[in-house]
Amino acid sequence: SSSKKPRFRATPTELAFLLKIFESNPFPSTKFRAQIAAKLNLTERQVMFWFQNRRSSLR
């Protein structure tokens, strides 16, 4: 059986950075998401889901 990966939790530093970006741009482009991921050393997928989840939690 495949082992489940632990759930991604942004560190306080990452969170502050992501929130700052989210305030000015809740819908970052694919290119911009890639830059965010590279800067924070995360996968683009993690960044994509973080924004997706953040938007849904504000609904």
Q: Delineate the domains of the chain, giving CATH numbers in brackets.
A: 12-58 (1.10.10.60)
- pLDDT band at 1, cuts 50/70/90? low
**What is residue 59's predicted lDDT score, i.e. its pLDDT?**
86
Q: In this predicted model, what pLDDT tens digit does every residue of 9-53 receive, in sequence order?
A: 999 999 999 999 999 999 999 999 999 999 999 999 999 999 999
Residue 29: phi, psi to the nearest 5?
Answer: -70, 165
Q: Which of 41, 38, 40, 5 has the alpha carbon at shortest distance from 19? A: 40
